[in-house]
Amino acid sequence: MSETLTGSPAKNYVGGEWRESASGESYEKRSPWRPSEVTGVYPASDAADGRAAVEAAGNAFPGWASLPAAQRAAYFGRTANAIEARAEQIAQDMTAEMGKPLRESRLEAIRAATILRFAAGEAWRPIGELYAPSVPNQLLYTLRRPLGVVALITPWNFPIAIPVWKLAPALIHGNTVVLKLGYEAPRTGLHVAECFAEAGLPAGVLNVLTGAGSKVGAELVRNPSVRAISFTGSVPVGRAVRDEATARNCRVQLELGGQNPLVVMADAELDRAVEAAYAGAFWSAGQKCTATRRILVQDSVYDDFRERMIARIAAGKVGDPADPDVEVGPVVNEGALEEILGAIARARKDGTVLAGGVRTDDDGYLIAPTLVEGLADDAELSCEEVFGPVAALYSFEDFDEAIERANAVRFGLSAAVFTRDQHVVQRFSEEIGAGIIHVNSQTAGADVHVPFGGVKESGWGPHEQGRAAIEFYSETVTVYQDAPLPETRLA
Ligand code: UN1
């Protein structure tokens, strides 16, 4: 490992160089499991760093955009190799700094390399369409071109997958990038910068900054040289980003919250449904925008499901995220811990806590997987996104009721149904208000080669990932290419 990451403080990656913040300020990142332990010191970047990164990306753009896409892809292959070579270190660092259980961190580190390999393939796929012309001797076609400098504002909860699934399509389509890493997980993302540097990426093509969104992120939103912003995070911040950036005609893509339902029909394989509910609600301590928040169970199997779910929670392994057997680790910081415990306390007023509901470690920000029942459909836990290991249980009579209640939230990211009935499957896929639909599997998870994104208030702009990503990271132009007149050709 190079000293840029192990050294203290770590540095931003701007214009192909490792740099301190312009102000010299830095911040300490602490472990959510053992908060007395500092996991690293990182640049507290501000507007000046944002401007320098945008400038570096702007300078690199003409050269990068003019490279054949296959040459751009070659850097991806080398970077994917570098990520795989240090995947275990990335996973350990991810777990240490933001508390994701190691078993999930390992999968995420490898997923980053897979995303790069998929995106590299875009170099050999079509970037336009040929049309029949309306006049003789003409070629009429569309062409996708890069936008220029794009800014990626990323969260801490998928600290390598999300940065990579944004930067990979951005770069392969010829843009240059300024990437702002999640405040709570800078080290994980800096590994990506190092791997691209190792792969010999030209200076300024990818610039990576750490620090607070309110300081450095704000500059990226406002900077007139930034042509597009892709943001994943909370609803209020996302909306503010959109309103400010679209006002200056900047493209914006938002991936925001979810309030994701899992519907269990009476004919479901109950043990599978319980397993999916547990994983969806509690893995990564429920800190996924795709996490299961509401579990709706048909009344004739409600008691049975409830009993099995409580037993599954009792059998779950909760604790030190670095233990590879642990399924549920701490939440990211003290503020999150307090917010989640606050929401649970409010839920106790009209609901019953069937499991968990308490902090279970004096030191770590650990909340036991929490299951609540008896909440009204307009209760906070039924409508809002509480970003922690908390899910609520509801019973319903028939499918019509289930779909109506599942849809009665402003969010629409992911949803799952457990059933053996093809008729129900079909209706669910047509009627559920969600961008990602799972049949007989958990609400979380995202394959690298298919579109990802929500409907309703869960998102804005074109979807991410898969081939869909080209929509956001390129602009279409239409070319009317008339041939020279025959005489001219003969002359
Ligand atoms: C997943 O479920 O694996 O921030 C991906 C999030 C989402 C990504 C979820 N944007 O949780």
pLDDT of residue 6: 44
pTM (predicted TM-score): 0.96
- Ligand 1 pocket test, candidate residues 104, 105, 152, 157, most atoms within 8 A of CB: 157
Read off the pLDDT of residues 171-213 as tens digits, 9 standing for 90 and up: 999 999 999 999 999 999 999 999 999 999 999 999 999 999 9
Dihedral-angle region of residue 249 (phi above 0 means left; psi in -120 to 50 means alpha; beta otherwise): left
Ligand 1, atom 7, lies closest to the CA of: 289
Examine the residue annotation and report whether 255 is marked as an active-site residue of this protein: yes
Tell me the mean pLDDT in the region 294-311. 98
Candidates 104, 255, 327, 464; catalytic one: 255
Task: Decide: 446 in ligand 1 pocket, CB within 6 A.
Answer: yes
Least Cα distance to 452 among 469, 471, 433 occurs for 469
pLDDT of residue 485: 77
Q: How far is the CA of 158 from the centre of ligand 1 (A)?
A: 7
The CATH code of the domain at 260-439 is 3.40.309.10
pLDDT of residue 9: 74
Is residue 488 predicted with pLDDT exceeding 70? no
Tell me the mean pLDDT in the region 41-69. 98
- Evaluate the omega torsion of the peptide bond into residue 202 and state whether it is cis, within 30 degrees of 0: no
pLDDT of residue 228: 98
CATH architecture of the domain 12-256+458-478 equals 3-Layer(aba) Sandwich (3.40)
Q: How far is the CA of 349 from the centre of ligand 1 (A)?
A: 31
Is residue 474 predicted with pLDDT exceeding 80? yes
pLDDT of residue 8: 64
Is residue 2 predicted with pLDDT exceeding 50? no
Task: Decide: 107 in ligand 1 pocket, CB within 6 A.
Answer: no
Task: Decide: 158 in ligand 1 pocket, CB within 6 A.
Answer: yes
pLDDT of residue 231: 98
Q: How confident is the model at residue 4 (pLDDT cuts 50, 70, 90)?
A: very low
Is residue 116 predicted with pLDDT exceeding 60? yes
Is residue 3 predicted with pLDDT exceeding 80? no
Per-chain mean pLDDT for the chain = 96
Residue type, 333: N
What is the C-alpha to C-alpha distance for residues 143 and 129, in angstroms, rounded to an integer? 7
Examine the residue annotation and report whether 195 is marked as an active-site residue of this protein: no
Tell me the mean pLDDT in the region 55-73. 98
**Residue ranges per domain, the chain?**
12-256+458-478, 260-439
Q: How far is the CA of 139 from the centre of ligand 1 (A)?
A: 42
Is residue 1 predicted with pLDDT exceeding 50? no
Is residue 275 predicted with pLDDT exceeding 90? yes
